[in-house]
Chains A and B, each alone.
Chain A
Amino acid sequence: MTTVTEKKPTHAGAPRASRPSAPETRAGARRRRGLSTLTGWAFVAPAMVIILGLSIFPAAWAFLLSLQKWNGFAPPKFVGGANYTRLMSDEEFWAAVSHTGLYVVLFVPASVLLGLFLAVALNRDIPLIGLYRTAIFVPFVASAAATGILSTYLFSPQYGLANNVLRSIGLPAQGWLEDPSQAMLVIAIMSLWGQAAFTTVIYLAALQDIPNELLEAARIDGANRWQTFWRVVWPELGPVTVFVTIWQVIGALQLFDLVYTTTRGGPLDATKTIVYYLWEKAFKALDFGTGSAAAYILFAVTLLITVGMVLYARRRNMEAF
């Protein structure tokens, strides 16, 4: 190991102005630097090898795959952009795109607004608040598999609680997950149940970061609570809102688990999302090329939306990142 004689770095990544007080031979300095480079890499290399090996390497490989026709057994055939052009004219793919879009529209605004509302509601010191918080946060640890199986039970047309409640108040029973026009709504509701905690926690942290002087000043100026919220608190939360919205959009575009454990893409393909489509292509039809091309298209769309939202936020002067 090296002896520690480095100067204190003023800031990580900032160039270090290293001026050894005692004159040192050049060879000695080089050896010391070589040794500290070795030490540095010894610390970071194990994690780096794993992460790069499981991300950059397969990501590059996926791009190669997307230009090939391959089923995993026969020798791969280079087909250029054929997989991409075929996807662009594949109705099933576009259907998957629109189902994913529907989910984004149903889930993202609801999760952001619900998170905001719950955070405001929970951000107070009243009796039982701990109990309320726990009840709302616990579903976050339920897995997609468990949530999915639970959804099929709660929304079972014959035996489920949802229809039972509707019947008992005299409303007609619904098909829920078995109705193509309602299945995605049910999935969005159950996603909200499981993930409301996330947006709530982020907003709670942001609310607690708002300086008290600001709220005090608004109160002194005669603003009521409603005005204080919309004129003072809401603008302060702008960056967080941009952040959680982008975060939830990215997550929603990748919906897969909950579809797999509820409808498996049905009924009548109504819940077949982009990732479900690519999973079927790759692991059911063993069409690795088309699957990889679909993954790259989704990646590109995600990037575009993210960059677009960040730029939009910048123009509105809301720095989220």
Chain B
Amino acid sequence: MAVEIPKEKWSGTVREVTLGATREQGGTRTRTLTVGGETAMPHHAFEGSFPHPPALALEVRDRKPTDWSPLLLQAWGAAMDDPAAWAKAAEQAGAELIFLTLSATLADGKANTAANARAVVRKVLEATGLPLAVIGPGQAEIDNELIVAAAEEGKGERLLIGTCEDKNYRTIVAGALANDHVVQSKTPMDVNLSKQLVILIHDMGLPLERIIMDPTTGALGYGIEYGYSVMERLRLAALQGDSMTQQPLIVTPGEEGWKVKEAKVGEGVPAAWGDWNRRALNWEALTANALIYAGADIIVLRHPETLRRLRGVVDALMAA
């Protein structure tokens, strides 16, 4: 006897958001990236459609970071000394989006400047044809100064800019409105807070097709379950038709995975932990893998090898 598998029917759809603009669209990108559009719970291909695979991004800094794991420094080598070279290397490694993070300070220890932000954005835009995200260091005043400058410099490129948070979003949203960009809306692991910030940003007049949500997640072993369940609930709400939760989700397992002791530290840990490099890569990859299952649309990574592995996961999921 044939068994019929029960299928869930949903009324809502995740919004499609496009990053990057080609020459015809007013920018200079050679490729654009569209995410979202899902009509069912993550990868339930038998219940709905998934027009765009989860996108894999690599994080690039405006200057060589001082607090990254030596394993990452090894992986990127000299490319890290120049954001343009780094972005190019990331493109070669298979990234679909360059996720450029601006530092709070310059190499001399002084506060980062708008002029520097402009110069770096210009360089990276010229080095690669990929769509670009430009994210501030996470301190309201510096973020506003740097991101507004970056937004102006990248006018028409349909950048993803951020970070918009509930206490500091107006300046960045105004920058996106004026220069035709998309914003990243980040809230601390709560369905209602995610939704509220989307409402606030939308209330300023930014179309919902230009907002991507970062629900905040944790690394494997460091609260990933909580982040996972918030993402799951956001997606359930979106599919049930709750308009303000229908934004694509961006997650940063690269940053989170490489923050934990297991990935960061190679010495003075129990021998049973095994090979450091293998462990660290597994940590980033497994964290990212879980978030893909939770419904992530853009996954920001740090290690090129992790990206290679996840490419396999994504291809397999989309083929299923």
| Same complex origin of A and B | no
Give residues in B with beta carbon < 8 Å to A. none
